[in-house]
Structure 1
């Protein structure tokens, strides 16, 4: 699939026909730029309105196109991110089951959705409102999904951190803890290289430590986790003495209900994340199709209005879609320019050249024909 297309229109000229211009263009492309795909871009007879309305609309078209294109790319990037998370890459994106490139190159105006007798500004404004709503929905849905991911990431960071900071609940079993009226068990985090010092000194840090009560539960790259049992009345004193020897006593209270609750919370978050990811991905697939369809109808209005301003009334032009490789772009531009003998089209140059502007005047490279680029990615 190509990712970059040109949409262009050429003047038919007095006494000519769109079919004859199409035949000449096909012949020129096949002879001079055979590696360039060429398609007709079928635009119906839309409601022209007044010249003032067309000029006013033209001022807004480029900005509106950038907005619609931007939303299209946002949704596409979101789809790519969601697919990376799942490790599954889908087939090409579609519009009503049709691949987007095929939808573009075989474009058919949707009369039911966009009646051709509607004013052009009404069609453009309707598209803009629809796309703005989709963008707002995207922000809300992504925010909800990101919130769940953030909660999971926070839990995972606690699980993945060192013993000095991570959650210890999944490392401690009921049998590791002594809890009675007089005895309690503490958890000490000891530097990996200070374990001998701990084992040789913990019993004598205070007077009320149970001999040989320390047991190693876990070890990571930096620390080891040990239990130690002592009389409850001596806990604060032991913590102070341990801190003086650079042993960290972690606050921890074993509670089976809390453990179960945390486990259930984690499982629910993981399930919510997958459900929301799947739902968001499906919504993005559907919404991308809606945005792309609206974008192509917007492009059709753009070509139509700019062609009227460029070539005059009555509407008499051929609109096409091309996909030239980079190496053939100059050649294709030359072919298109060579087919613009109409005096109206040659008059429309950039404002710096003294012309009246138009679509090309707002783009980096002005041409004597209507032309703009559609980037699918």
Structure 2
């Protein structure tokens, strides 16, 4: 009979085996009795004990199963007369068996605890995923003369990528895409902090200029970022529809892209390679947030007119691996099979996208080449109609 031990007491469950099985072998009568002197002695000495059973009708050997001072179970072996009592050789043999059994039981219990903890962690991460998803805006007001799209796919249950679309009461449209270094829960916590501070800045009656907002973000987050050896890359842009002026600040993030829808449409209808078209890369940029206590960089600006598109992405897009030359469509310079997409490859994909631009379709094309998503992927666009 093998009966587990919980807190120096016999647990209710047991495992019973007999060379002569009967219908009664699994009945409660087979449970070990803590009043048995051998059982009490084993609890006290943690040593194998041999003698007569409590009922006096069996030769009993009681073996403690202990691993690293953890009392796991008691194994009671009974011999019915006329069998001989347990010998020294029997006891030595069972000592070796007990050591192996103790290790096996300990590993099994460790596995059960690990599985339970993993299940609990998965449940908690699912809740965290839902909370993080709710932090990102799921919708925004209809914008007269403009179209905004945004997608964000974490590589794990939660991630460090984020975006923001904020319509200020004065009419300005604020757009942001950010990427916290690292992945998983630590990145997600900094992501939540960054969104919170950013929304506080943008909700002011008269928000500061984009580069001042970046300075304020860095001032609020830099101590925690530096102590955690993390940083945030981010692009923040403000578009004023009345003046068609776009002002942006970049903290070490990928260059935003601007292009004309009409130019792409003209190229798609022209013979292959007869028109060379490149986007406008917005290259005014500073260092990431959290690198230095004080963030300094100038803001960039340009006119974003009717028919033009602004695209912001995270490096999970540009560092995605393209496994086939689909993006080239016969055009030179497209990403080769198995190569990193990069911004040039993304531009080739954009050139071959059907109009109007659909970010969900574009991202599906990129993700189709990656069986394993290695990084968070975020993409946001603003089209002036």
Smaller-chain TM-score bracket: under 0.3
**More helix, by proportion:** 1
Determine which structure has greater relative contact order: mean sequence separation of CA pairs < 8 Å that are 6+ residues apart, divided by chain length: 1
Q: TM-score, normalised by structure 2?
A: 0.23
**More strand, by proportion:** 2
Q: TM-score, normalised by structure 1?
A: 0.23
